[in-house]
Chains A and B, each alone.
Chain A
């Protein structure tokens, strides 16, 4: 997999800080699981967190080490094996708990001509929404802008917009106020994972008509 579009370093940092709204953290974690280069950046960024953590002024604790609770716990020796178990599928590992291992088995819901989606439930939707979107070959997603950030990870096929072609593993990490009109690959179409902060705004009259139904 040749990844050419990476997330903004600022996004990667927020992710390493654990400060990203959950929808975005999910997209980032999925990309990171596919991208050795971002994993290396993330490792460097974790040193930043560690250095700042070490500089905190300690606050004395009033209770001793929880030895009794500790003894009640069995060390999780099996856990590593469980995590290394490889499930053959086309869903990035961090997403599997939410949607399973196969994109074809996602319970897609048709939301318009050639567009399907599956919303992934999050604890606090006010901080952002997370959804899988499937677009038929050659189909254009309606031109849209957004009030907040938007982050898209391609999982299958590809899409192209004014900024280039995005293939599996690529991330479009877009600022607020960006407007774009991605078109899905003419043969394979496109499946992507999208995090948005604030609802998308479609531009055309047609899209405004469709918007109430699609939930975009």
Chain B
């Protein structure tokens, strides 16, 4: 795959000074006019990462590729449900991949819905410049994760990337279940602290 400027900057919203177009804009174009070129760009940017995710979740390369195709097809089909105000394009696509993985690799229902703007109750203390804070929140979360102690990052990664339940993580690491949960909690508290003032 040829690396493009677009993949290097998947998250920004709107055109920036250098004229780059963000992933969120591609999603809007798909939603508004079924823009096939916008879809190709999204596919190039996300399919390889979704494939990597599916492989980490235990899929063989072939199945992972099929699931990546299907994830992006779902993106095409549901683009109209994407609401830029509610979250980043990557979060939305990641959630689609996550739910597809539950459905296909585990053959279970994914009970938690997509973040699609369905939530009608706004945060009581939401700021008017929520869009800006979305972007900041994302950066703060990345920074907080980068500074987690390795044992906390390990359980968080096993949960999010390998798809293991708490019990499975406990088994894999030879730890009591309570230790796994407390490491998860500690990690989350650190992440939440880092975005607290943005809420």
Interface residues of A (CB under 8 A from B): 8-10, 12-22, 25-26, 28-30, 32, 36, 39-54, 56-67, 69-71, 73, 75-77, 79-80, 83-84, 94, 122-124, 127, 148-149, 175-176, 197
Contacts and interface: CB of A to CB of B under 8 A. Distances in A.
Interface residues of B, number: 84
B1 A60 contact: yes
B52 A56 contact: yes
Contacts of B31: 75
Given A8-B181, A197-B167, A46 B87 contact: yes
Contacts of A21: 165
B142 A51 contact: yes
Contacts of B95: 46, 49
A16 B94 CA distance: 11
Given A18-B101, A29-B112, A61-B47, A40 B199 contact: yes
B102 A18 contact: yes
A58 B49 contact: yes
Chain B facing A: main interface SS: helix
Interface of B: 1, 10, 31, 34, 36, 39-40, 43-44, 47-49, 51-53, 55-56, 61, 64-65, 68-69, 72-73, 76-81, 87-88, 90-91, 94-95, 97-99, 101-102, 106-113, 115-116, 118-119, 121, 123, 137-138, 141-142, 145, 156-157, 159-161, 163-167, 177-178, 180-182, 184-185, 187-189, 191-192, 195, 199
Nearest to B88: A50
Given A9-B184, A94-B111, A59 B77 contact: no
Contacts of A148: 167
Contacts of A75: 31, 34, 76-77, 79-80
Contacts of A65: 39-40, 43-44, 47, 72
A51 B52 CA distance: 14
A61 B108 contact: no
Contacts of A42: 112
Nearest to B43: A65
10 contacts: A18-B102, A19-B164, A21-B165, A22-B111, A47-B191, A53-B97, A59-B61, A61-B47, A123-B109, A148-B167
Nearest to A70: B76
Contacts of A32: 112
Contacts of B142: 51
Nearest to B122: A36
A97 to B, nearest CB: 8
Nearest to B30: A75
Nearest to B40: A65
B72 A50 contact: no
A26 B110 CA distance: 8
B160 A19 contact: yes
A156 to B, nearest CB: 20
